Chains A and B, each alone.
Chain A
Amino acid sequence: MKLSNVLYRQHVGFMFKKHWAVQGRRVPIDTSIEAKLKAKGIPVEDALEFVKEKPEPRERIEIIGKYEQVKPLDENHPDYKERPCLTLKNTSVLLEGISQAQVLTKSIIAEDKLPQRIEEMAELSAPKAVHEGVKKAILSANVFDCEQKKLPKIKDAERPAFNFPRILGISDRRKNEILTNKLLQLVEKSNDAEVTQNKYVVNDAECHSVFDKDGDLIKFQDVSGILVTSNKPMKHELNENDIPFIEIPDLYPVKHTVTLPPEHFYSENSKYPLRPSVSKKHPHTTWLHFNRTEVGNLYETPVTPTQILGRSLTHAFTVASAYAKQLHGEDVKDLPEPIHINCIQTDGQRFHFGVFELNTLNVDGTDGTKNVWYCKNDVKLYDSSRYLSGMPVLENYNPKVYGYINAFYNC
């Protein structure tokens, strides 16, 4: 609120203060007495020199507060390194999307193809009660949850200056959390206790992976919405001869490190969330959330579909490589045995399934051993789920998605 209107009505004190402020800044009038005295040879001294004593330099006091003081980000910071590290965080995307991710991770892609076993298991039909549960989960994430947070501003391209009323509703982060957790709970409930006992589920697990590529230091920082781990490493039977294109794309004129901002404050170690002492530490499936309000391009252009697909690949690579580095040490290059990991990315409606095979951590150049990324993209779980003129609606539920999730969990 603009206070002046109210304050102007009547406030003698303000007038006084204003008066003091004006009078305080008065410039002394030059009476030319100084020049006259000097002319007569009488020394003139500045009165302020007698009044003012020079302040003693005081030492900075370290105050112990309630919270630890944040250290300034300068060269004395413990994490400061001379060499910049090009960092990709879970809130940003690569400019060239999937092809840039391919170059960075030195992977070849098997488009629209998942391991044979997963495809077979995905065909198995689930009981009706389970599908009812999935529908409940979708509705509960999109309609029935009671979160009321400010949603992003609505903009109309026709009249960009128009301000629409802000709508309150369920944020996309919460939608994704509810949906994925409920889906996983359903999968686990419909499986035998013996299967679920060998798995472990961690929410919001953070993985860091640091590696060199063509002379640049690159760091991937990623957060799995859900990380399912198991008591033994997962193995897929894969046949690389199925893949039609084994070339890694050429990004020219773009360099592969574009949109990876350099950072000087970082730690050089990779990080896998589960310690080596844990028995169920082997990564199995990682669920990646795509929260549209949080993930964005560095240059504020809207995120494109290929960029979203690129996220899946870099995410799977981050988790797999962080695990490999914990297993074989920081400097491992070609792995003695490939590491497999499943990845499911979702924005709450579309699901992107992928299986990543990590063969090497030597990502220099484009020749030699390569990693492999099998994926099946853009599977819609439903067409729309919302309040439509006051009534909760779920349109076109697709039961296939549950089959894939179940197959991913069981393989």
Chain B
Amino acid sequence: MQLLRVHRTFPKLKKVITRRYSQALQLEENEYTDAPVYPPIIDTSLEARKLRIRQTLHKKIQEINTVEEKQIALNMPRFYGWQSIVLNDNKVPFNAMPLVQHYTRTHFQSIDKLPEIYAKSSPIADTIVQEIKSCIEECIATENEGVERNIVTSLDKPEKQQISDAHTKNIVKQINRIILNNLTDKVSHILSSQVDYDPRHEAFWFIGSVDLPWDVRKWRKKQKWYKGRLDQPLDRPVQYIGSPILTIRNHLPLKPIIDHSEAENPDFKVPKFSHIPESVGYFSEFRHGTNIPGFWPGDFDEFGLMSFHGRGHILDRSESFGPEDNLEALHCQAIKASFGWLLAQASYQGFTTFNDLTYPLVTQTVLTDGHLVSFYAYQLNTIVMHNDEVDSNPKHNVCFGTKPLELYETIENGKVKGLNEDVLKMLVQFYLNAPEERDHAMKPYLGKEEQIIADIEDDNRRCWLESRYKHLVANRPKHFLLPELYDWEKIYKIKFNTRFFEARRRPFEFDINPFKRRLDDHLPPYIPKVLRPYPKSRKKFETTYYPNV
């Protein structure tokens, strides 16, 4: 009787309650095989189970179709963003080289002349240098003495650094203009390339094998299930944020400097740096991980050729750091900038920090202040360096870099004295390095028809994902303030239980960690009754299209 009443109120319940026993009649005919087939034996230890959970997550991210959804998927576990170690491009602390090398898994090789693949363009470069030599001399002299500029500085950065960077920007624009204009008729890839000023470069990845922060260790000590694995390392999210002066990009990638198989060469050693990043001078910040190579997904020219960076931050370094560390700081800046840009480019090809590159990517980086120029060629071979892979991944990234070289000796009476043609030639060779079509699949982990959000056919889903993605990567402050444990609560409620008579309302009184919240753990926008579809709709909330990971 009671069941009947229930059925009347919820008519659909009948369909939900199925009769299990009726299925027993359908016996499978092929239930028996000749040889016994056993299910695979799986390790049931806690660590193995956890590993399998992580691996399925990585697999799920790999199977997502579009670039933007993969980026959202990387951020799914954290509603308030990852507490990421922020690597900036305009500040390098003392002795940061080991950390930067470990975090980017980069082997650095100091060179005096460019790697072998540049040898082919040497004779053309010589003639071009002769053609543009006088123009370059003139533009350097003009920029230094001939143009009156009003440089506005802000208070957030050292004044010297800002003035130096502004000056560098002007010279780099001039030199780039002269070389591009000269090369357009001679090489075909220049006309189709795009030049960007001050683009936004951001990259996000996970790094393993870093010591635990003290507060995590303190928390683990209190948990009984962490007994015996107190010091188990943790994935640390890393975010690179930078803005080069000028970048050039093309729709084709550059040729690899070394063969992809060479990436596993054990000679390429990367020092392990397991100390916490705060010990060097890199700090963390809550933010959603972003991978942005200077343009949104959908732009045709998605491979970088070269980028120019200022080196004004060297002026702000303490004198006691010494020239050797200043040189290392330049190397660090180049490694961070190259890796960051390439990783962001790779993420637009569908790779993430959990799904490794299947082919190498190359970029060229120039650090300059208008007078001193250093050249770097960087090959990205691997981007997987999270905790499970950091020790077993045989591949390393390679960076070839020169010392800072003088472009000219002095400027006297408005004339440049002693222009160093070798340096100019190296620069021209960077421009001459032509991108090439590769004969393998460039986007193996992206869908066939849907590669970016704009390809999605469902209007609602496309619009929702587009706005969600842009909102996520904007990292704008939340509408509501972040959850916080106030000092008075810590004193009067936690340390000394003076308010035992009060009702428990705050999360810490229920042992809830408010930061342990997934990105989709929120109420979707409410649909007012008047806006719901006619005639009758019980759907109160709008649909969300978060990736299923």
- A residues at B contact (CB < 8 Å): 1, 6-7, 9-11, 66-67, 129, 133, 136-137, 139-140, 143-148, 168, 177-178, 181-182, 185, 188-193, 196-197, 200-206, 271, 273-275, 277-281, 387, 389-392
A residues in contact with B155, CB < 8 Å: 67
Q: Complex formed: what's the CA distance from A394 to B404 in Å?
A: 44
Contact in complex: B184, A139 (CB < 8 Å): no
Closest 7 CB pairs of A and B: A390-B466, A278-B146, A390-B462, A146-B200, A196-B181, A144-B299, A144-B295
CB distance from A220 to the nearest CB of B (A): 16
Task: Kindly state whether residue B130 has any CB partner on chain A within 8 Å.
Answer: no
Q: Which residues of chain B from 393 to 416 have any CB-CB distance to chain A below 8 Å in the complex?
A: 414
In the complex, which of the residues B173, B295, B300, B486 contacts A203, with contact meaning CB atoms closer than 8 Å? B173
Contact in complex: B190, A389 (CB < 8 Å): no
A residues in contact with B197, CB < 8 Å: 177-178, 181
Contact in complex: B465, A193 (CB < 8 Å): no
Q: Complex formed: what's the CA distance from A197 to B180 in Å?
A: 11
Task: Kindly state whether residue B346 has any CB partner on chain A within 8 Å.
Answer: no
Task: Kindly state whether residue B538 has any CB partner on chain A within 8 Å.
Answer: no
A residues in contact with B486, CB < 8 Å: 6
CB distance from B167 to the nearest CB of A (A): 13
29 A-B contact pairs sorted by A residue (CB < 8 Å): A1-B481, A11-B488, A66-B159, A139-B299, A143-B296, A144-B299, A146-B199, A146-B292, A168-B470, A168-B474, A168-B476, A178-B196, A185-B177, A188-B181, A189-B181, A193-B182, A193-B184, A193-B185, A200-B142, A206-B148, A206-B149, A206-B150, A271-B148, A274-B147, A275-B148, A278-B142, A279-B138, A390-B454, A390-B462
Contact in complex: B295, A389 (CB < 8 Å): no
B residues in contact with A188, CB < 8 Å: 177, 180-181
Contact in complex: A182, B194 (CB < 8 Å): yes
Q: Complex formed: what's the CA distance from A202 to B473 in Å?
A: 33
A148, A188, A190, A205: most-surrounded residue (chain B CB, <10 A): A148
Q: Which residues of chain B from 169 to 203 have any CB-CB distance to chain A below 8 Å in the complex?
A: 170, 173-174, 177-178, 180-182, 184-185, 190-192, 194-197, 199-200
Q: Which residues of chain B from 453 to 488 have any CB-CB distance to chain A below 8 Å in the complex?
A: 453-454, 456, 459, 462-463, 465-467, 470, 473-474, 476, 481, 486, 488
Q: Which residues of chain B from 129 to 182 have any CB-CB distance to chain A below 8 Å in the complex?
A: 131, 135, 138-139, 142, 145-150, 155, 159, 170, 173-174, 177-178, 180-182
In the complex, which of the residues B146, B294, B466 contacts A275, with contact meaning CB atoms closer than 8 Å? B146
In the complex, which of the residues A136, A204, A205 contacts B301, with contact meaning CB atoms closer than 8 Å? A136
Q: Complex formed: what's the CA distance from A181 to B149 in Å?
A: 19
In the complex, which of the residues B180, B191, B488 contacts A133, with contact meaning CB atoms closer than 8 Å? B191
Q: Complex formed: what's the CA distance from A193 to B465 in Å?
A: 46
Task: Kindly state whether residue B499 has any CB partner on chain A within 8 Å.
Answer: yes
Q: Give me 8 other A-B pairs in contact (C-beta within 8 A), A136-B301, A390-B463 excluded.
A: A9-B488, A147-B200, A168-B476, A197-B178, A390-B453, A390-B462, A390-B467, A392-B454
Contact in complex: A273, B462 (CB < 8 Å): no
Q: Complex formed: what's the CA distance from A168 to B467 in Å?
A: 11
Q: Complex formed: what's the CA distance from A275 to B149 in Å?
A: 11
Contact in complex: B459, A389 (CB < 8 Å): yes
A residues in contact with B453, CB < 8 Å: 390
A10-B488, A136-B194, A177-B197 are known contacts. Are A273 and B147 too (CB-CB below 8 A)?
A: yes
A196-B181, A275-B147, A390-B466 are known contacts. Are A129 and B192 too (CB-CB below 8 A)?
A: yes
Closest to B251 in A: A136
Q: Complex formed: what's the CA distance from A96 to B60 in Å?
A: 63
CB distance from A323 to the nearest CB of B (A): 13
Q: Complex formed: what's the CA distance from A395 to B195 in Å?
A: 23
A146, A168, A273, A281: most-surrounded residue (chain B CB, <10 A): A146
Q: Complex formed: what's the CA distance from A264 to B23 in Å?
A: 95
Q: Complex formed: what's the CA distance from A340 to B295 in Å?
A: 39
Contact in complex: A275, B195 (CB < 8 Å): no
A11-B488, A140-B295, A168-B476 are known contacts. Are A197 and B148 too (CB-CB below 8 A)?
A: no
In the complex, which of the residues A67, A147, A277, A392 contacts B298, with contact meaning CB atoms closer than 8 Å? A392
In the complex, which of the residues B177, B200, B476 contacts A201, with contact meaning CB atoms closer than 8 Å? B177
B residues in contact with A204, CB < 8 Å: 149
A residues in contact with B456, CB < 8 Å: 390
Task: Kindly state whether residue B492 has any CB partner on chain A within 8 Å.
Answer: yes
Contact in complex: B170, A203 (CB < 8 Å): yes
Contact in complex: B298, A144 (CB < 8 Å): yes
A residues in contact with B414, CB < 8 Å: 277
Q: Which residues of chain B from 98 to 148 have any CB-CB distance to chain A below 8 Å in the complex?
A: 131, 135, 138-139, 142, 145-148
Q: Complex formed: what's the CA distance from A137 to B193 in Å?
A: 11
Closest to A189 in B: B184
A residues in contact with B466, CB < 8 Å: 387, 389-390
Q: Complex formed: what's the CA distance from A222 to B474 in Å?
A: 33
B145, B196, B301: most-surrounded residue (chain A CB, <10 A): B196
CB distance from A242 to the nearest CB of B (A): 35
CB distance from A247 to the nearest CB of B (A): 38
CB distance from B463 to the nearest CB of A (A): 5
Contact in complex: A145, B295 (CB < 8 Å): yes
Closest to A127 in B: B191
B residues in contact with A197, CB < 8 Å: 135, 178, 181
CB distance from B344 to the nearest CB of A (A): 10
Q: Complex formed: what's the CA distance from A168 to B180 in Å?
A: 33
CB distance from A90 to the nearest CB of B (A): 12
Contact in complex: B488, A189 (CB < 8 Å): no
A residues in contact with B178, CB < 8 Å: 197
Q: Complex formed: what's the CA distance from A275 to B428 in Å?
A: 29
CB distance from B348 to the nearest CB of A (A): 12
CB distance from A190 to the nearest CB of B (A): 8
A140-B295, A206-B150 are known contacts. Are A390 and B465 too (CB-CB below 8 A)?
A: yes
Closest to B469 in A: A390
Contact in complex: B299, A140 (CB < 8 Å): yes
Q: Complex formed: what's the CA distance from A374 to B302 in Å?
A: 42
A residues in contact with B181, CB < 8 Å: 188-189, 191, 193, 196-197
CB distance from B209 to the nearest CB of A (A): 32
Contact in complex: B195, A185 (CB < 8 Å): yes
Contact in complex: B180, A273 (CB < 8 Å): no
B residues in contact with A178, CB < 8 Å: 196-197
Contact in complex: A391, B454 (CB < 8 Å): yes
Q: Which residues of chain B from 64 to 81 have any CB-CB distance to chain A below 8 Å in the complex?
A: none
A residues in contact with B454, CB < 8 Å: 390-392
Contact in complex: B159, A67 (CB < 8 Å): yes
CB distance from B71 to the nearest CB of A (A): 13
Contact in complex: B159, A389 (CB < 8 Å): no
Closest to A11 in B: B488
CB distance from A389 to the nearest CB of B (A): 5
Closest to A272 in B: B148
A residues in contact with B467, CB < 8 Å: 390
CB distance from A178 to the nearest CB of B (A): 7
CB distance from A227 to the nearest CB of B (A): 10
Contact in complex: B296, A144 (CB < 8 Å): yes
Q: Complex formed: what's the CA distance from A193 to B173 in Å?
A: 17
CB distance from B431 to the nearest CB of A (A): 13
Contact in complex: A391, B462 (CB < 8 Å): yes
Q: Which residues of chain B from 283 to 300 have any CB-CB distance to chain A below 8 Å in the complex?
A: 292, 294-296, 298-300
CB distance from A368 to the nearest CB of B (A): 32
B residues in contact with A205, CB < 8 Å: 147
Q: Complex formed: what's the CA distance from A81 to B454 in Å?
A: 60
Q: Complex formed: what's the CA distance from A110 to B492 in Å?
A: 80
Q: Complex formed: what's the CA distance from A63 to B145 in Å?
A: 32
Q: Complex formed: what's the CA distance from A67 to B152 in Å?
A: 13
CB distance from B450 to the nearest CB of A (A): 12
A residues in contact with B191, CB < 8 Å: 129, 133, 189-190
Contact in complex: A200, B295 (CB < 8 Å): no
CB distance from A198 to the nearest CB of B (A): 10
Q: Complex formed: what's the CA distance from A66 to B160 in Å?
A: 11
A residues in contact with B149, CB < 8 Å: 204, 206, 273
A136-B300, A146-B199, A189-B191 are known contacts. Are A10 and B180 too (CB-CB below 8 A)?
A: no
Q: Complex formed: what's the CA distance from A196 to B463 in Å?
A: 44
Closest to B184 in A: A189
